[in-house]
Amino acid sequence: MGLVSYGSIEEAVKGCFGTDVNIEDSRSVGGGDINSARLLMLSDGRSVFIKYNSASNSAFFDAEEEGLSAIADTGVIKTPELFCKGMDPDKGISFLMMEQIVTGAPGQNTWYEMGRQFAGMHLADTTRYVKGGRFGFLHDNYIGATRQINTPFDNWIDFYRECRLKPQFRMAERALDEQAVKNCVRLMDKLGDILTEPEKPALLHGDMWGGNHLIDRDGNAVLIDPAAYVGHPEADIAMTELFGRMPHGFYEGYHEKIPAQAGYDDRRDIYNLYHVMNHYNLFGGGYLSSALSIIRRYAG
């Protein structure tokens, strides 16, 4: 069952926490590149975190709910508790209300335990998240502000080609010269010789850079802002290395449960190509030259 939806933030507070509870104060907090966010201080003493966007962008929160719920349902790694969502037509906003994570410092075993928990998520059963295939997700969702295609496929390499790389190449097509286009085509043709099929499909966070986890006051890792889907676990691990690696303990804990496959280092940049291309398509700049360098290297 999905979250209850309300017609205003004030109505949502009363519906979730009691008709006698009011918003006493609020302050703006970081919400990422896509959404805005506020911390609401309530009359019963609690604080809650709310993300909001325009009413026309309510699909962002439907997707976030689905992704966080899927990760939470594995029962192995923490996510913020979701309270409700809604759309306020008078204010022209949509919103998602969730637990405020009070952050703290990592403990001695935080990163090791996070790695083990992350591997546990990758080992969880995925059949409920894909209908009509082994890879994909229940619905399309978002990687940043880009629509992420999750059409089901039985074959991981086909899924990655058709639903990850090709859409990014099409979005960047006007910026590619003739040689770059040829290299993209050659890379797509060679993908089956570069990537491997996983031993089993894995539920992925999908956007696992360093800004998408928190450490709570008890020293537990908390995953936030997923772009969840079912795929190859290497795709998640690769992104943990894209903008700076996680602490060593994370990989130690992870690989105790899921040993690294031979040749992973040779495949890592193919997985990160998706994110580099997406950053170019969202933000422009030097990401294109980085992406073209990866493409040339693998196209041969």
The answer to whether residue 207 is catalytic is: yes
Local structure of 87: helix, strand or coil: strand
Q: Determine whether 85 is exposed, middle or buried from the number of CB atoms within 10 Å of its CB (0-12, 13-18, 19+).
A: buried
Residues 203/129, Cβ–Cβ less than 8 Å: yes
Residues paired with residue 111 on neighbouring β-strands, in sequence order: none
Please state the φ and ψ torsions of residue 4, each to the nearest 5 degrees.
-70, 140
Edge-first strand listing for the sheet containing 82-88 = 5-6, 82-88, 93-99, 47-54, 36-42, 23-29
* CA-based R_g, the chain, Å: 20
Q: Which of 90, 64, 66 has its CA nearest to residue 9?
A: 90
- DSSP state letter for 80: P
Burial of 2 (0-12, 13-18, 19+ CB in 10 A): exposed
Q: Classify 290 as helix, strand or coil.
A: helix
Catalytic residue selected from 62, 88, 207, 269: 207
Helix (H, G, I), strand (E, B) or coil at 47: strand
Are residues 291 and 279 in contact, defined by beta-carbon separation less than 8 angstroms? Answer: no
Q: Which residue, 119, 82, 78, is CA-closest to 215?
A: 78
Enzyme catalytic residues: 207
